[in-house]
Chain A
């Protein structure tokens, strides 16, 4: 059973399109995250939700809008895609946002904007 699952795994789309990446966790965790890994392989946090409530919103363009319909799901919607949005997007979850708690990552969604 996949603990943190993301769909789609691969996505190729044109500039200007709107796309969504879905994420679900079956671990019963309260906290979910979106991380972005760019072409230089740096992993940066984008958003964090705790029980459907936005906790962290790093400096991310307004074109990126996370949505958490329930605590097991955190979807990422991206409007007006740009070339620079090409990256791997990782969803993650943890029991709570505490320093001792393990964060579990999904396998990533490879987004290519052409």
Chain B
């Protein structure tokens, strides 16, 4: 499984946008970029995923670099409830599993 690199931690303020970076320089053409997050004392939950084009959903936006070697998860207006560990995961086409890395611990200040 191709590896991703994320900052260990980030901090932001409530009601401000948050940009969570992820590097994946060894990504292959069939790797999807997935983002999951884990709120305290809960199981991971799906946030968003994409292949080449930028993606938007009700939770977040995913901006994918043109060469696909990096991506950014964007939370448009952070709330306290967005404090969690965010995982950027590459998942090969047809792959059965998700391989989690260390993730980024996001702290939101009131």
Contacts and interface: CB of A to CB of B under 8 A. Distances in A.
A99 B92 contact: yes
A44 interface: yes
| Chain A residues touching B, majority SS | strand
A103 interface: yes
Contact of A55 (B44, B45, B96): B96
A55 B49 CA distance: 24
Interface stretch (B18-26, B61-69, B75-83, B97-105): B97-105
Q: How large is the interface on B (under 10, 10 to 19, 20 to 34, 35 or more residues)?
A: 20 to 34
Interface residues of A, number: 25
B45 A48 contact: no
A90 B44 contact: yes
B46 A104 contact: yes
A41 B85 contact: yes
A100 interface: yes
Contact of A42 (B31, B41, B102): B102
A45 B97 contact: yes
Given A42-B102, A99-B91, A100-B32, A48 B96 contact: yes
6 interchain residue pairs of minimum CB distance: A105-B43, A97-B96, A43-B100, A102-B46, A99-B91, A99-B32
Interface of B: 30-32, 36, 38, 41-46, 49, 85, 87, 91-100, 102
